[in-house]
């Protein structure tokens, strides 16, 4: 008989119950709870109801305290169901022949609680009957591994590999070995995360809109990656299937052949000096093994019955974007580049590997959000994060510096791999020979490639807003501006800029032609696009000077693009021109900027108070808004009061 309780949680404090024995325990009452548990389990074992079943009572009590309310005098039907159909199947190691003993022991223990005057006898009988009625469902649930917790699955594997749970050294050796296994193997035991493709910490805010390159350009970049060719050749070599070793690796013969087929840099029986390092497993061939793990993790290949077979993603071979996206995901979220590199190391250098690999997605998200990031800054931020996660205060300074260098090197190697996948590009790195006949790398910046931006957008859209722009490249200017008028400003601006880039030299003229047909929102978006184009749009904008409704916008454009004559802002003696100009500035830049930068210069030498005395008489749609903005935003109290008075007159006269 084997029964092993795996995990104990902590719950809220509870009230005391029976005065002769404390039977209600809070989360910090560990010592008192275990004393009461052992006493109850022992008395149950000695009673007529519990011979050889004290272990069942002890585990049931552990669950009651650790996961329910900790009150051993109160047992509810829903708690009975939770214990039998959820907690025991998930957390207690049981042999199939022990399942009936759990039912007998639990029902007997509930009846025993009535014998001890802890539960009313009628309640005890009803609860015990419920346990016995749930027996068939309990057996099915407990035998279904889908209901096991990760901890139970792990201990089940340990037991199958001959690990004695009472031997701490054996357990530690098993855990060390298990933690070095690839993510795919660990997930097969522990079960994948709810969505293994999501980063551990999702971005709290939406990502900025991006313009993606045309599909044919992205496909060309994917086809040009060494990894596309490598994975396609690997799937082709596997064909209908190949045998695997007992450890689930490619055989040595196939591994040797594949080094040539895939063109990896692996060395078979590598000679260093006068020593030959015998290749004993295909897993020793680092680049080949990584390609194999990525193919398995992406679904292009699968293991079954001691063989590797084409997986559900084998058909992606003809779709370079699908191959590269799934390979990128598998590397980042299933295999882990740093964990794979250290898979055979036994020197403790890999302590940071899981955290580094888990941080890569977040780093790529930041590159997506902000653009290129210096490699040294990236490495320092990662090291600071590791210092927060791990307690390294007792590590000597020289060893800490050594591991700091390992982290830097590992991060750069991870980006080397992402570069091979054509997802990032690193520029400006300085390489200096070191005393170990290698090179030390410093400096440089990393940025997403167009293919990397495409992959990140597709990925990020699963957990946050990551808008794509450029779908309106072929639209006319008026159609474009109307379509984006109801989008968030950043997204609308990005869409317009993508359209402008696509239209090239003809963009300014097309925008100017569309402006008279648009509402205020579309007109503002169009003019701001012309401002971003700068002086190159001057000839097109000049055509608007003759349009009485748009001439003021043209003036704002010329002033902001530094192509206007100084007198163009001066509206002295012309209140209607003042209202039109301020209305255009309000429309384009908002009330604060319009009042601060435009109201005074536009009023001319007579000043704003004088201008306001005539402006209230102007019958224009924008008059009300202009006067209200000055009254609300102007810092001079006299001018603000004059504007509010003018606004009152304007509204009263209408």
Q: Is beta strand 468-469 parallel, antiparallel or unpaired with respect to 275-277?
A: unpaired
List all residues 6 or more positions away from 80 whose beta carbon is below 8 Å from its beta carbon: 106, 127, 130, 131, 134
The confidence band for 150, taking pLDDT boundaries of 50, 70 and 90, is low
Judge whether residue 373 has pLDDT over 90: yes
> Mind listing the pLDDT tens digit for each residue in 552-562?
888 888 888 88
| Spatial distance between the Cα atoms of 283 and 292, rounded to a whole number of angstroms | 9
Cα distance between residue 199 and residue 186, in whole Å: 18
φ, ψ of residue 469 in degrees (nearest 5): -115, 165
Q: Looking at 461-598, list the stretches that DSSP marks H as alpha helix, in order from N- to C-terminal side.
A: 477-484, 489-503, 507-514, 520-533, 538-542, 551-560, 575-589, 591-594
Q: For position 337, what pLDDT does the model report?
A: 95
Q: Is 413 exposed, middle or buried (0-12, 13-18, 19+ CB in 10 A)?
A: middle
Which tops the pLDDT comparison, 392 or 104?
Answer: 104
Beginning with the edge strand found earlier in the chain, give each strand of the sheet holding 242-243 in spatial order: 242-243, 307-310, 301-304
Highest mean pLDDT among 169-183, 340-354, 408-422, 587-601: 408-422
**Of all helices (H) and strands (E), which one includes residue 308?**
strand 307-310
User: How high is the mean pLDDT of the chain?
Assistant: 85
pLDDT grade for 193, boundaries at 50, 70 and 90: very low
**pLDDT attached to residue 277:** 64
Report the sign of the C-alpha dihedral through residues 634, 636, 638, 641, in that order: positive
Of 54-58, 225-229, 465-469, which gets the smallest average pLDDT? 465-469
Confidence band for 272, pLDDT divided at 50, 70 and 90: low
Pairwise pLDDT comparison (441 vs 200), residue with the higher score: 441
- Helix 507-514 to helix 520-533 angle (10° resolution) is 160
pLDDT category of residue 301 using cuts at 50, 70 and 90: very high
| Residue 420 pLDDT class (50, 70, 90 cuts) | very high
Does residue 591 or residue 473 have the better pLDDT? 591
Name the band, by pLDDT with cuts 50, 70 and 90, for residue 542. Answer: confident
pLDDT in tens, 316-358: 788 899 899 999 999 998 899 999 998 866 566 788 999 999 9
User: Token digits for 12?
Assistant: 């809220």
- Between CA 268 and CA 260 the distance in angstroms is 11
Backbone angles phi, psi at 504, to 5 degrees: 65, -135
| pLDDT, average across residues 193-209 | 56
pLDDT value of residue 345: 65
Q: Which residues pair with 283 in a beta bridge?
A: none
With 50 as the cut, is the pLDDT of residue 639 above it? yes
- pLDDT tens digits along 2-53: 333 333 332 223 333 333 568 888 766 778 888 899 999 999 999 999 898 9
Residue 606 confidence (pLDDT): 84
pLDDT value, residue 573: 87
pLDDT at 156 over 60: yes
- Looking at residue 232, its pLDDT comes to 94
* CA trace torsion 631, 637, 642, 643 (10° rounding): -10
DSSP 595: I
pLDDT tens string 518-534: 888 888 899 889 988 88
Residues with Cβ within 8 Å of residue 623, at least 6 apart in sequence? 579, 583, 615, 616, 650
pLDDT at 179: 55
Q: What is the pLDDT of residue 264?
A: 93
Confidence of residue 188 (pLDDT cuts 50, 70, 90): low
Give me the residue spans of the domains in the chain.
3-148, 231-335, 565-654
- Helix ranges (DSSP H) in 239-336: 252-262, 286-298, 320-330
Please write down the long-range contacts of 551-554, taking CB distance under 8 Å and 24 or more positions apart: 551/580, 552/577, 552/580, 552/581, 552/583, 552/584, 553/515, 553/523, 553/527, 553/584, 553/587, 553/588
* pLDDT tens digit sequence for 94-149: 888 889 999 999 999 999 999 999 999 999 999 999 999 999 999 998 888 777 77
Kindly report whether the global pTM for this prediction surpasses the value 0.75: no
pLDDT of residue 411: 96
pLDDT value at 568 more than 90? no
Assess whether pLDDT exceeds 60 at residue 567: yes
Q: With contact defined as beta carbons under 8 Å apart, do 155 and 91 qualify? A: no
279 band by pLDDT with thresholds 50, 70 and 90: confident
pLDDT, residue 404, reads 93
pLDDT at position 17: 36
Q: What's the whole-number mean pLDDT along residues 277-302?
A: 90
Query: Mean pLDDT over residues 185-203, rounded?
Result: 50
Q: CA–CA separation, 434 vs 571, rounded Å?
A: 71
């Amino acid at each position: 008989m084997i029964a092993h309780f795996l995990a104990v949680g902590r719950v809220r404090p509870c009230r005391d119950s029976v005065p002769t024995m404390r039977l209600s325990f809070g989360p910090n009452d560990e010592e008192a709870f275990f004393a009461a548990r052992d006493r109850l389990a022992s008395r149950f074992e000695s009673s007529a109801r519990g011979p050889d079943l004290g272990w069942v009572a002890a585990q049931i009590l552990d669950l009651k305290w650790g996961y329910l309310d900790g009150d051993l005098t109160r047992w509810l039907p829903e708690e009975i169901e939770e214990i039998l159909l959820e907690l025991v199947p998930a957390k207690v190691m049981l042999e199939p022949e022990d399942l009936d003993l759990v039912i007998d022991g639990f029902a007997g223990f509930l009846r025993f609680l009535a014998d001890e005057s802890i539960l009313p006898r009628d309640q005890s009988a009803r609860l015990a009957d419920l346990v016995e009625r749930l027996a068939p469902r309990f057996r099915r649930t407990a035998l279904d591994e889908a209901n096991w917790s990760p901890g139970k699955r792990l201990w089940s594997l340990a037991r199958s590999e001959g690990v004695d749970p009472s031997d701490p050294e054996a357990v530690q050796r098993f855990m060390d070995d298990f933690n070095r296994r690839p993510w795919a193997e660990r997930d097969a035991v522990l079960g994948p995360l709810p969505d293994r493709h999501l980063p551990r910490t999702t971005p709290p805010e939406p990502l900025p809109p991006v313009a993606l390159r045309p599909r044919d350009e992205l496909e060309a970049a994917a086809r040009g990656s060494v990894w596309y060719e490598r994975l396609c050749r690997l799937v082709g070599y596997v064909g209908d299937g190949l045998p695997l070793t007992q450890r689930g690796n490619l055989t040595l013969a196939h591994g040797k052949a594949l080094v040539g087929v895939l063109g990896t840099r692996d060395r078979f029986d590598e000679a260093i000096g006068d020593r030959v390092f015998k290749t004993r497993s295909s897993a020793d061939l680092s680049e080949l093994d990584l390609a194999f793990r990525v193919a398995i993790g992406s679904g292009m290949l699968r293991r079954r019955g001691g063989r590797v077979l084409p997986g559900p993603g084998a058909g992606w071979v003809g779709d370079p974007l699908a191959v590269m996206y799934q390979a990128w995901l598998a590397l980042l979220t299933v295999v882990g580049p740093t964990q794979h590199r250290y898979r055979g190391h036994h020197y403790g250098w890999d302590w940071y590997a899981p955290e580094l690999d888990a941080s890569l997605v977040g780093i790529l998200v930041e590159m997506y959000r902000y653009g290129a990031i210096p490699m040294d800054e990236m490495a320092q931020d990662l090291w600071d994060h590791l210092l927060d996660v791990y307690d390294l205060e007792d590590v000597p300074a020289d060893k800490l510096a050594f591991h700091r260098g390992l982290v830097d090197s590992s991060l750069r190697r991870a980006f080397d791999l992402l570069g091979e996948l054509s997802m990032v590009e690193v520029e400006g790195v300085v390489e200096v020979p070191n005393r170990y006949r290698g090179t030390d790398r410093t400096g440089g910046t990393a940025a997403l490639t167009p293919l990397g931006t495409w992959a990140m957008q597709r990925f990020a859209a699963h957990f946050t807003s990551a808008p794509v722009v450029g779908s309106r490249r072929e639209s006319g200017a008026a159609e474009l501006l109307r379509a984006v008028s109801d989008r968030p400003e950043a997204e609308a601006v990005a869409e317009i800029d993508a359209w402008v880039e696509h239209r090239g030299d003809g963009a300014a003229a097309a925008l100017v032609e569309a402006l008279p047909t648009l509402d205020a929102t579309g007109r503002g978006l169009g003019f701001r696009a012309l401002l971003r184009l700068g002086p190159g749009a001057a000839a097109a904008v000049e055509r608007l000077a003759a349009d009485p409704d748009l001439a003021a916008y043209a003036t704002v454009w010329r002033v902001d693009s530094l192509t206007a004559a100084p007198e163009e802002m001066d509206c002295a003696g012309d209140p209607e021109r003042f209202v039109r100009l301020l209305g255009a500035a309000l429309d384009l830049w908002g009330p604060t900027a319009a009042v601060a930068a435009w109201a005074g210069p536009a009023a001319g030498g007579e000043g704003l108070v004088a201008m306001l005395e005539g402006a209230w008489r102007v019958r224009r749609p924008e008059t009300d808004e202009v006067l209200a903005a000055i009254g609300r935003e102007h810092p001079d109290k006299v001018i603000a009061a004059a504007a509010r008075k003018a606004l009152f007159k304007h509204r009263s006269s209408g």
